[in-house]
Amino acid sequence: MRPSRRITQCLLVGAALSALLAGCATAPPQAVAAPTRAVVSGPTNLRMFAEQSRLSGEAIADLVPSTQPGCSAAVGKVGIVVWAAAAGLADHAAGIPVTTETRFDIASVSKQFTATAILMLQRDGLISLSDPISDYVDDLPWWGAEVTLDQLMHHTSRIPDYWVELDDIGIGFTEPADQQVTVDAIRREQALVPGTGFDYSNSNYVLLAEVVGRVSGLPLPEFLAERIFAPLGLDMVLAPTLHAPDIALSYDDDLSLQEAGWTSYGHTGIITTPSELVRWGDQYRTGDIIQDDFDSGAVLQDDGELYAAGMNIQEDGDLAHKGRMGGFISAFTVSADRETVIAVMCNGHLSNRNGISDRLWAIWDPHSAE
């Protein structure tokens, strides 16, 4: 017998299933336009979504213990949130549950937003991806004149990850280190030969954030708010280490709090819910903000995947990225046809993010069984 678990679950596919919403334990995700495309309308699809919702609820119940740090997940179809659920605890000590409205730091899944900001500035004619980073960030070592914005975006700069330098000077994860401290740490790092292969490094996206601020006159958090979040009506904010009653706490393996002191951004730090993230994911289909330049210059990785503008392009055409910052872990996937988007967010190192994401993908992606 499956143990009783507290699960918040919503099925959201328009008025035809409005009765289901009445039983949802929390308010539904932000309202979106009523479904009009065949993929989310019609009795057959509505019945199918109901079955997929049931199976998804079982997946959450199986994989998220009710007495441990929790997880929240959502599924979108052509920009419409069709299912969302949550289980586990947002605050372990206080016993406060995760709900579908609980916010999380999405960690490295944030990178796609920084990359999008850079591409927007290039479309505006203000920068070129072929520009060296030294055009925008002062006092860099020799590699500043050689590393291009393109190499930063695609992780071929060969600049080491900034945490190595912070650790060397005694600034651990819980010690204060803001954007300036982090950029100064990157200035002290010595790159290998730029452009000689893929080497994932958070330093790349910290530097790209500096480019956005220098060129636009707005720090990256403000740029994203004005150019992306507000126009799309997304409830998102770039604010690393933000504390609020609706933001989950972050837990290590032993259930100790993982309270970050690092507040740099560009590589991490967007706070939101899975439902909001899957709404954003529809940009890969519509092309309103994410355009054809998204995968221009994508770089081949050792595992056969390509790295584009802050997202991995898998061999089957799906887009994906995962994140980890402290106890916050996340997974974000967009189907090859760009019609299905799944987001998973958890607040504990031991949370089964991958298991949840894989189960949901098998349930919701129409091509997963092919």
Tens digit of each residue's pLDDT (9 = 90 or more) over 125-142: 999 999 999 999 999 999
Question: What pLDDT does 27 receive?
Answer: 35
Beta-bridged to residue 283, according to DSSP, are none
Mean pLDDT of 89-116: 98
Asked if 314 and 199 sit in the same domain, the reply is yes
Which percentage of the chain shows pLDDT scores above 90?
81
pLDDT, tens digit (0-9, with 9 covering 90-100), for 144-184: 999 999 999 999 999 999 999 999 999 999 999 999 999 99
Q: Which domain holds residue 38?
A: 7-101
Give the end of a domain, one of 81, 101, 121.
Answer: 101
Q: Comparing 18-32, 78-92, 294-308, which segment has the lowest mean pLDDT?
A: 18-32
Mean pLDDT of 238-263: 95
Question: What pLDDT does 192 receive?
Answer: 86
Asked if 278 and 248 sit in the same domain, the reply is yes
Tell whether the model's pLDDT for residue 18 goes beyond 50.
Answer: no
Averaged pLDDT score across all residues of the chain: 89
On whether the CB atoms of residues 265 and 203 are closer than 8 A, the answer is no
Q: CA–CA separation, 1 vs 3, rounded Å?
A: 6
Give the count of domains, the chain: 2
Beta-bridged to residue 59, according to DSSP, are none
Asked if 28 and 85 sit in the same domain, the reply is yes
From the list 329, 354, 331, 327, the residue with the least C-alpha distance to 249 is: 327
The pLDDT confidence band at residue 44, using thresholds 50, 70 and 90, is low
DSSP H/E element including 234? none
Q: CA–CA separation, 225 vs 211, rounded Å?
A: 16
On whether the CB atoms of residues 358 and 364 are closer than 8 A, the answer is no
Q: Comparing 19-23, 78-82, 89-93, which segment has the lowest mean pLDDT?
A: 19-23
Asked whether residue 367 is domain-assigned, the answer is: no
Half-sphere exposure (Cβ direction) of 268: Cα atoms closer than 13 Å: 26
Which comes out higher in pLDDT, residue 37 or 216? 216
Asked whether residue 306 is domain-assigned, the answer is: yes
Mean pLDDT of 80-104: 98
Give the end of a domain, one of 83, 101, 119.
Answer: 101
On whether the CB atoms of residues 45 and 38 are closer than 8 A, the answer is yes
Q: CA–CA separation, 51 vs 55, rounded Å?
A: 6
Question: What pLDDT does 368 receive?
Answer: 59
Give the end of a domain, one of 67, 101, 135.
Answer: 101
Asked if 149 and 201 sit in the same domain, the reply is yes
Tell whether the model's pLDDT for residue 10 goes beyond 90.
Answer: no
Asked if 53 and 185 sit in the same domain, the reply is no
Asked if 238 and 130 sit in the same domain, the reply is yes
The pLDDT confidence band at residue 53, using thresholds 50, 70 and 90, is very high
Question: What pLDDT does 3 receive?
Answer: 36
The CATH number of whichever domain residue 302 belongs to comes to 3.40.710.10
Q: What is the residue type of 289?
A: I
Tell whether the model's pLDDT for residue 236 goes beyond 60.
Answer: yes
The b/e string for 300-333 (b: 16+ C-beta within 10 A; e otherwise) is ebeeebbbbbbbbbeeeebbbbbbbbbbbbbbbb
